[in-house]
A and B are shown apart, each in its own frame.
Chain A
Amino acid sequence: MKDKLVYLCIGIALTVLFFVFNEDIYEAMYYSVAFNNGLHNYDVYTPITIITILMAWGGAAVYYYAINSVRWDRWWHWLVMLAVVVLLTPIICYIVNVRMFNENGISMAAEAASFEFFNLVVTAVLFVIASFSMRWWSTNCRHTPIPQ
């Protein structure tokens, strides 16, 4: 029980660190002056970060506690869930980003698309972190993707 809680705490700590340093992390991965300045000035980083965190943790929670089935406990089932989250999240973030920019008269769809490619990587990492944080309490999928 104690080890499981350590995993959970580490996962949460890493996620909070990502939230706090989201701008630095994103800008280390993708940087185009005008586009990133726009994300900063119009507060787009925050909703994108929140969406990414909620999608990754929410996706993992759905897999381990809602699906939570012996028919879906193989590693490729987990991989399907990862793929769904990793594809959906950048699409949602792209829409949010473009909408917020459009409201302020900014048009940078190409840069937004490139940025979301890197957000896809971030989402995948967060989904793995979330999975290893919460899988231990799943009744049927706690051995997925790697057995204990």
Chain B
Amino acid sequence: MKMKHIIPLLLLAVMSLAVTSCGQSPLEKVVKQALIQQDTTQARFDSICSIIQQNPGRYKQYLTDDGQINLTELQALIERVGGDLRPPLHWDIAAYGQQELSLTIYFERSGSMVPYDNAGDRGQLKKAVNDIINHFPGSKVSINIVNDGIYPYQGSVDEFLKDRNIYASTAGVGNSAFTDFQQIFGAILKAQDASNVSIVVTDLIYSPADASDVSIDKILNEENSLATSIFRQYKGKSVLVHQLMGDYNGKYYPYTNRPVMYRGMRPFYLLVIADTPVMNRMAAQSDYAELMRPSQARNSYRINQAESGVDYCIVPGWEDDAGRYRISHKEEGLLTKVESDKQTGILCVTLAANLGGLQQTADYLGNVENYDVKAQTDFALRVTPITDKMITGNNRQYLEGKTHLLTLTGKFNTPRDEVTIRLRNEFPKWVAESSTNDDTNTSSSRFSTTTLGLEQWMRGMQDAFGATGDYTTMRLRLEK
């Protein structure tokens, strides 16, 4: 072969080499895989970190001077890789690589709490506390007994877990005749550091000393003001209130302080208190699922929850779809070349959203009345929880990691439209339904599900933090 014959072959080889050498680094591939598979666990994060640490020369920009992972740079890489995917995917790694959290349990030991833990009953209260301790991912756990003050539990955590009669073994600790909310919550909030989660296990019944001649309205107003005055000094905190139900067998102390025997179900509460960033971190990590949503919880509500962004995307070709559109690769949430169905004039678009991190009940998230849709087009919204059966190989990349489908249906006939879907953060109805101003009639049908002054206490806390706006807002732009 002559030299001149080699020229084109050489150029061809160079071109092939150039073409095939273009590609992602192993780190980018692993990040991409994690995003596509929605595998945003601690284990996957650790595996990504180990790739970086095993190749310090190649990935030095992802390491700090002392050899630790540079979370800012790694987050930037994840955003870049995730932003290039269709639909764009996000993974907030701020929660990883942070200081280990500690857990402090404040176990109320007032007279009205003792009947929750009888040997002959099911012991839901103790089980709920044990579950939280057992499922807490950290190893730093401490327990306190509270009534008129805060007293450290004398045994170990293991002894607490095994204790079959916690109230008998803590008899004599403090004064169980009344619960000093001001003293307890004030001390908890003051003592709490940025890496601590505190859980108050309580029936949330305000029972101040010397209240025998005081009217119930005055007591409840006092409770409301007390809650506001305690929490208003700590606006950086969040409080997650879980309501649970437990067997109750023993003396119940109504506000008149004349005890009556009661046997049946009664609500009790787990108040999770932490700095707002810590609460957000726990909401984002599945490791804290039992703490953020205990399996026995009947109702939950987080006080001081700011509006947060959620992952959402258009699900192309979903079964309800009507009309046609293209999803823009340049701008998230933009649909171009939108056309309604030619025969019906209807446009139907379905979004998949991950509402799991909003710390709201399935009923609340699934209720379309809690959403507001704003658009020129009169879109009707339907909200459907995503079940495992809905996920197939073809739609996995859109539905995996998402919790709800939001389907918009309407006659789209404008050149362009901007759709805003808001999930309102409203004070939950269950609080009023679970609250009473008179707890003297234990034979009332509401007695088993209501707590004296719950609404006043919760509203007092809410008022301390001020209005928090919506849970989230999703936006969609449509262009013909």
Q: Which A57-71 residues sit within 8 Å CB-CB of chain B?
A: 57, 61, 65
Do A105 and B396 form a contact, CB below 8 Å, given A31-B326, A50-B20, A137-B8? yes
Do A15 and B397 form a contact, CB below 8 Å, given A65-B9, A137-B7? no
Do A137 and B5 form a contact, CB below 8 Å, given A31-B326, A46-B23? yes
A33 → chain B closest CB, angstroms: 3
List chain A residues, Cβ under 8 A from B396.
Answer: 104-106
Spot the interface stretch: A35-43, A80-88, A90-98, A113-121.
A35-43
Q: How far is the CA of A46 from the CA of B19 in the complex (A)?
A: 9
Q: Which B4-31 residues sit within 8 Å CB-CB of chain A?
A: 4-5, 7-9, 11-12, 15-16, 18-20, 22-24
A33 near B394 with CB under 8 A, answer: no
Of all chain B residues, which has the CB nearest A64?
Answer: B8
A33 near B8 with CB under 8 A, answer: no
Of all chain A residues, which has the CB nearest B2?
Answer: A137
Q: How far is the CA of A70 from the CA of B190 in the complex (A)?
A: 95
A40 near B86 with CB under 8 A, answer: yes
A33 near B393 with CB under 8 A, answer: no
A133 near B8 with CB under 8 A, answer: yes
The interface size of chain A toward B, counting residues with CB under 8 Å, comes to 34
The reply on B373 being an interface residue by CB < 8 A is no
The reply on B76 being an interface residue by CB < 8 A is no
A33 near B397 with CB under 8 A, answer: no
A33 near B316 with CB under 8 A, answer: yes
Q: How far is the CA of A104 from the CA of B36 in the complex (A)?
A: 10
The reply on B85 being an interface residue by CB < 8 A is yes
List chain B residues, Cβ under 8 A from A61.
Answer: 8-9, 12
B394 near A34 with CB under 8 A, answer: yes
Q: How far is the CA of A130 from the CA of B317 in the complex (A)?
A: 38
B240 → chain A closest CB, angstroms: 36
A53 near B393 with CB under 8 A, answer: no
B19 near A50 with CB under 8 A, answer: yes
The reply on A19 being an interface residue by CB < 8 A is yes
Q: Which B317-335 residues sit within 8 Å CB-CB of chain A?
A: 317, 326-327
Question: Of B11, B22, B24, B86, which contacts A8 at CB under 8 A?
Answer: B11
B12 near A106 with CB under 8 A, answer: no
Question: Of B15, B314, B394, which contacts A108 at CB under 8 A?
Answer: B394
The reply on A125 being an interface residue by CB < 8 A is no
Do A34 and B395 form a contact, CB below 8 Å, given A8-B11, A41-B36, A137-B4? yes
Measured as residues with beta carbon below 8 angstroms from the partner, the interface class of chain B is 20 to 34
List chain A residues, Cβ under 8 A from B7.
Answer: 5, 8, 137
List chain A residues, Cβ under 8 A from B398.
Answer: 34
* B369-397 interface code vs A (CB 8 A; 1 in, 0 out): 00000000000000000000000111111
B23 → chain A closest CB, angstroms: 7
The reply on A122 being an interface residue by CB < 8 A is no
Q: How far is the CA of A31 from the CA of B327 in the complex (A)?
A: 11
A12 near B11 with CB under 8 A, answer: yes
Q: How far is the CA of A84 from the CA of B392 in the complex (A)?
A: 37
Q: How far is the CA of A43 from the CA of B81 in the complex (A)?
A: 13
B393 near A107 with CB under 8 A, answer: yes
Q: Which B377-430 residues sit within 8 Å CB-CB of chain A?
A: 392-398
Q: How far is the CA of A127 from the CA of B19 in the complex (A)?
A: 17
List chain B residues, Cβ under 8 A from A57.
Answer: 12, 15-16
List chain A residues, Cβ under 8 A from B19.
Answer: 16, 19, 49-50, 53
A107 near B326 with CB under 8 A, answer: no
The reply on A141 being an interface residue by CB < 8 A is no
Question: Of A8, A41, A106, A134, which contacts B85 at CB under 8 A?
Answer: A41
Q: Which A126-143 residues sit within 8 Å CB-CB of chain B?
A: 133-134, 137
A140 → chain B closest CB, angstroms: 12
B3 → chain A closest CB, angstroms: 10
A16 near B15 with CB under 8 A, answer: yes
Of all chain A residues, which has the CB nearest B396?
Answer: A105
* B153-194 interface code vs A (CB 8 A; 1 in, 0 out): 000000000000000000000000000000000000000000
Of all chain A residues, which has the CB nearest B314?
Answer: A33
B397 → chain A closest CB, angstroms: 6
- Top 10 closest pairs, chain A to chain B, by CB: A105-B393, A33-B316, A37-B86, A134-B8, A34-B316, A106-B393, A34-B317, A40-B86, A19-B19, A137-B5
